[in-house]
Amino acid sequence: MNFNRFISIVFLAGFVSFFSCNQQSGTTPGKSMGKSPVDYVNPYIGNISHMLVATSPVVHLPNSMVRMSPSRSDYTGDILAGLPLAQRRMGSFALCPMTDKTMQMQVKPAYYYDLEKVTPYRYFVFLTDVDVQVDFAPSHQSALYKLNYGQDGDKYLALKINSGELKEENGAISGYETIANGIKVYVYMDFSQKPENVEISEKSALMTFNKSVGSVTARYGISFIDAAQAQKNIQREIKDFDVDKLAATGREVWNEALGKIQIEGGTENEKTVFYTSLYRTYIRMIKLSEDDRYFSAFDKQVHNDDGSAFYTDDGIWDTYLAAHPLGVLINPKVEADKVNSYIRMYEQSGWIPTFPGTTGDNHVMNGNHAVAIIWDAYIKGLRGFNLETAFEGCKKSIMEETMIPWRKAPLTELDLFFQKNGYFPALHPGEPETCPVVNPGEMRQTVAVTQAASFDDWCLAQIAKELGKTDDYAFFSKRSYNYRNLFNPATGFFHPKDKNGKFIEPFDYIFSGGQGARDYYDENNGWTYRWGVQHNIADLISLMGGTEKFIAGLDEMFITPLGTSRWVFYRQLPDQTGNVGQFSMANEPSFHIPYLYNYVGQPWKTQKRVRTLLKQWYRNDLMGVPGDEDGGGMSAFVVFSAMGFYPVTPGIPAYNIGSPLFSRIKVDVGEGKYFEIEAVNCSEDNKYIQSATLDGKEWNKPWFTHDIAKNGGKLVLVMGNKANKSWGLGGVPPSAEQSSN
C-alpha cells in the first residue's frame, strides 16, 4: 500500500474517532465551552524537568494497575524501546510489532516514532521505521493495543520479557515476568486475529500473522496472583477488541473522577493546570485487589480483601502532606482502604512501611509518616480500619526501627542516642562516619530526621490519647517537642549538634551539609527546615522570638539570594529548584511555608504569595512543574492552592485559606454533599480577600474546619486588587500547642 495513502486512511479513521470522543459534551460537571474535565488534562506538562525527574505522560484509569507511559529516555528522545504493558515497577513486558523477523534478535527493538497523542484514557503513536500505527486504551487491570500495519508483507508481533516464562495455548500467550524481590507479574494476552505461528524462546513470544491482515488488536490482562487471574481480569473488563469503546469508557471514568471538583472562571491555562494536577494525584496508590483477592509483597501471600480493597505504591514523604489529605476530602472510602492497606502491611510484615511498592517496602527518605496519614484520616472522620492495630504498628516502627534515612534496620547507636538525648547527633565537616548502617549517599540528615520524628511522635500521641493510653500520650507528646533541642536562639534556625551537644560551627544555612545538604538536612538547606515544625506553629513562633521576628524571617526567606551562581547552587542542591529567594517551590517540605503568614496576622501575604507561586511555577507547558512531582505529592499542593485552601498540618482537621484561582469551586465530599467556594470578583489582579462569609455568617478567620467542608458548607470570598490588611485577624489557625492547652 502507498505510504501516504496509508497515513491518510489510518489517521482519518483514528484521529476523527479520537477527537470526536474528546468533543462529546455529555452532562459532565465542570465542562466549559463544550469541554469536560478530562479534556483539560495535558499529560505533557512538566515532561522536561528543571533539574531532576520530569513528569511522564501516563495513560491509565484512576489508581489502576495498568499504567502505560511511553518507554523512552525522556520527552526529547526520538526512540521508543517497545510498547510497555504496565510501567512503574510493574514488570518489563514490552510489545514489539515487526515487519522483519530479524528484529526479533534485538532485546527490545528501538522504534523511531512520530505523531504521538496522549490523553489519560488513550494513546496514539506512529512507529515510522516499521510503518505501524499504534492505538492504546486501558482498563483497570487489562488493556488493548491496536496495531495497524501500513504495508503488505510480513507481520510479526513479539512479547518481550527480561526474566520469566511465556507459553502459548491455542494462539494466546500467558506467563510471568520476575521483578524485584522475586515478585512475579503475570500476563495473559489474546488477539483479534489468531496467529499463524507462535515461537516461544527464553525471553520472547513471536507471533506471525497472515500477510493480508491489516491490523491486529492485542488484548491483555495483568495480575500479581497468576496468569489465570490475568485472564479473568480481561473477561471482567474487556468483552471485545474495540479500542474506541474502551477509550470511551475510560473517558467516562476520568470525567467522574475529575468531576468531583467542578470549577468556573479562571483562564483556560489555569483550568488545564488544575485538572492535570488532579489527574496526577490518581497515579498513586494503585488498587491491587483482583476479584476481591490480592497478592501482597509484604508476606508473599494471596489474601481475601474482605470488602476493603488493597492499595500499594506510595511515597509517604511526598504524599502525606497534601495528596492523602486530598483523598480524605474527595475520596474518603478509597482513602480509608489505603489506610487499612498500611495496617495490613504491618500485620503481614511486622513493620509499617515508608515507601510501599508492588515489590514490598522500598524504605526511602526519612520519617515514619504513615502515622500521619492514619491519624489525619481518623480525626477527619474516616473509619473502616483498626486504630488499635495501627497504633501498635506505628509505635513499633518508631521505637524499634532505625531512623537512619534510606535504611531498614534495627536500632543503632544513633537511635539510642536520640532516645536518650532527643536529637540525632551530627558529625563535623570531615569527621569520619562511625555508624556503619548510615547510607553513604544519604548521610545522617540530623535536623531533618529530628523534625520528622517530632511530627510523627505528635501524631502517635494523638492516637494514644484517642485510645485512652495515658502513659503513651504523655511520652510521645513530650518527644514531639524534640525539635527544640536543635533550635539555635542566636540565629533563629534549626542547627545540627554534635554528640557533645555543641552546635556545628562554623555554619552556613545555605551551603553547609554537603551534597543536597544531607549531612544535616535533606534535599533542601537550612532555610527550608527553619519552618519544619508544621504540627506546632504556635511554639515555632515563640521559639523565633514572637510574631514580628517570625514575619521578618518569612519575608527574608523570599528575598535572600542564592548566594552564588545558579550552576554552583544547583550542583550542590539540585532538588531545591523553583526558587524564590531561598524558598523552594519544587520540594515538598516547603509546601506549607507560604501559608504561615496566616498564623501571624498577615494573611494578605499568604494570598499574594500563593497566587504568585502558582503563576510563576505551575504552567501549561513542557517545563510547567518546578521539581520532582513524585506521584501526586506536588500536584495535590496545586489542587488545594488553586481552590483557595490548604491542609498545613495533617492531623489537625483544619484548612488555611489562601486565594482561589477560580470564581466558583464545588467539591463533591460524598453522601450527596458539596463544599462550595465562591470568589466574587476573582481575577488575576483581584487576589486579595476583602471580606468573607461562611454558611452565610461573617467570617474573619484565615482558616476553617474540615467539618465545615465535610458537611457541605459554603465559603464566600469577596476579592479585590489591594490587600485588606484587617481581614483574617479574627483567630489564628490551630496548632498542637493551642490544642493541648
Contact 251, 601 (CB under 8 A): no
pLDDT reading at 741 higher than 50: no
Rounded CA separation 566/564 (Å): 6
Matching residue, cell 470568589: 679
Is the bond preceding residue 399 a cis peptide, omega within 30 degrees? no
Please tell me whether residue 155 adopts helix, strand or coil conformation.
Answer: strand
Q: Are 234 and 221 in contact (CB under 8 A)?
A: yes
> Whole-angstrom Cα distance, residue 34 to residue 313?
35
Q: Which residues have CB under 8 Å from 488's CB, separation 6+?
A: 494, 495, 503
Give the DSSP per-residue string, 325-350: HHHHHH-HHHHHHHHHHHHHHHHHHS
4 pLDDT tier (thresholds 50, 70, 90) = very low
Give the cell for residue 624. Answer: 510547567
Calculate what percentage of the chain has a pLDDT beyond 90. Answer: 91
Separation of alpha carbons 153 and 158, rounded Å: 17
Q: pLDDT tens digit string along 426-440? A: 999 999 999 999 999
Q: DSSP letter at 374? A: H
Residue 93 above 80 pLDDT?
yes
Which stretch of 51-55, 543-547, 632-636 has the lowest confidence by average pLDDT?
A: 51-55
Q: Residues 556-564: what's their mean pLDDT?
A: 98
User: What pLDDT, on a 0 to 100 scale, did the predictor assign at position 89?
Assistant: 56
Nearest to 91 by CA among 184, 210, 10, 167: 184
- Across 363-484, the runs of DSSP E, i.e. the strands, are none
Q: pLDDT tens-digit profile of 314-336? A: 999 999 999 999 999 999 999 99
- Strands 197-201 and 184-191 turn out to be unpaired
Over the stretch 453-496, which tens digit does the pLDDT of each residue have? 999 999 999 999 999 999 999 999 999 999 999 999 999 999 99
138: left (phi over 0), alpha (psi -120 to 50) or beta: beta
Contact 308, 339 (CB under 8 A): no
Is cis: bond before 285, omega within 30 of 0? yes
Report the pLDDT value the prediction gives residue 24, as an integer from 0 to 100: 38
Band of pLDDT at residue 91, cut at 50, 70 and 90: low
Asked whether the beta carbons of 115 and 102 are under 8 A apart, the reply is no
Confidence category of residue 109, pLDDT binned at 50, 70, 90: confident
Model pLDDT for residues 664-682, shown as the tens digit of each residue? 999 999 999 999 999 999 9
Kindly provide the b/e burial profile for residues 171-188, where b requires at least 16 CB atoms within 10 angstroms of the residue's own CB.
ebbbbbbbbeeebbbbbb
Residues near 9 by beta carbon (within 8 Å), at least 6 away in sequence: none
Distance between CA atoms of residues 38 and 56, nearest Å: 17
- Which of the four pLDDT bands, split at 50, 70 and 90, describes residue 726? very high
Q: Give the sign of the dihedral formed by CA 521, CA 525, CA 531, CA 535.
A: negative
Alpha-carbon gap, residue 727 to 308, rounded angstroms: 45
pLDDT of residue 330: 98
Q: Please tell me the distance from the alpha carbon of residue 721 to that of residue 41, in angstroms, as a whole number.
A: 30
Sign of the alpha-carbon torsion through 731, 554, 520, 587:
positive
Structure confidence by residue, pLDDT tens digits, 522-539: 999 999 999 999 999 999
Q: Is the pLDDT of residue 136 over 50?
A: yes
Average pLDDT value for residue range 584-593: 97
pLDDT digits (tens, 9 = 90+) for 673-716: 999 999 999 999 999 999 999 999 999 999 999 999 999 999 99
662: amino acid identity, one letter: F
d(CA 295, CA 286): 13
Residue 23 has a pLDDT of 39
| Adjacent-strand bridge partners of 94 | 84, 160
**Residue 194: phi, psi to the nearest 5?**
-70, 130
Chain segment 362-416, per-residue pLDDT in tens: 999 999 999 999 999 999 999 999 999 999 999 999 999 999 999 999 999 999 9
Burial of 27 (0-12, 13-18, 19+ CB in 10 A): exposed
Q: Are 576 and 587 in contact (CB under 8 A)?
A: yes
At residue 88 the predicted structure's pLDDT band, cuts being 50, 70 and 90, is low
**Mean pLDDT score of the chain, rounded to an integer?**
94
CA angle 199, 204, 208 (to 5 degrees): 40
Helix (H, G, I), strand (E, B) or coil at 179: coil
